[in-house]
Amino acid sequence: MPALSTVMPLENLLQFGLHFVVVAVAMVVSATLWLWATPFKEIALIRAGNTAAAASFGGALVGFALPLAGVVRASDSIWEVIPWSLLALLTQLAGLVIASRLLHGVTRHIEHGELASGLFIASVAISIGILNAACLGG
């Protein structure tokens, strides 16, 4: 059986840890800004069992994780990940604003638990995330 250092060199493990910490922080920042940008208290709604809010927020998380994965995979350095993550975040937030403007009242529908609206916002976020991942992933 090969030694662990042969299978998983310490340098690679450290790179993994550094990348994971940076993208985890980016996810927390993204989630915080998404929650701030929505005109309702998504976490409180989710705790109260609002499926529409859970779908919307879940889609936002997946939609941001997709480009982060692409950026990490395509980057040569952790320093490349940070600005591209910021661009992905701004694109996601712009998508929320545009979708909210196109479907006036969609956020109010989510607040009232209307699943169709929550799934629509989730779909927009995931679609933007897929496109971001393709464009940012090199």
Answer yes or no: is pLDDT of 135 > 70.
Answer: yes
Residue 81: name the closest of 93, 66, 70 by CA: 70
Confidence (pTM):
0.84
Number of structural domains found in the chain = 1
Query: Does 1 score more than 70 pLDDT?
Result: no
Query: Which of 101, 79, 90 minimizes the C-alpha distance to 132?
Result: 90
Whether the per-residue pLDDT at 7 is higher than 90: the answer is no
Residue recorded with tokens 């496109």? 131
Query: What tens digit of pLDDT does each residue of 79-124 get?
Result: 888 888 888 888 888 888 888 888 777 888 899 999 999 999 999 9
Cα–Cα distances (Å) from 42 to 12, 113, 122, in that order, read 38, 11, 13
Tell me, what's the pLDDT at 56? 93
Distance between CA 10 and CA 15 in Å, rounded?
Answer: 9
State which residues form the domain around 46: 4-136
Torsion on CA atoms 52, 56, 62, 66, rounded to nearest 10: 140
What digits encode the pLDDT tens for the residues 34-91? 898 888 888 999 999 999 999 999 999 999 999 988 888 888 788 888 888 888 888 8
**Distance from C-alpha of 96 to C-alpha of 55, rounded to nearest angstrom:** 14
| Helix (H/G/I), strand (E/B), else coil: 50 | coil
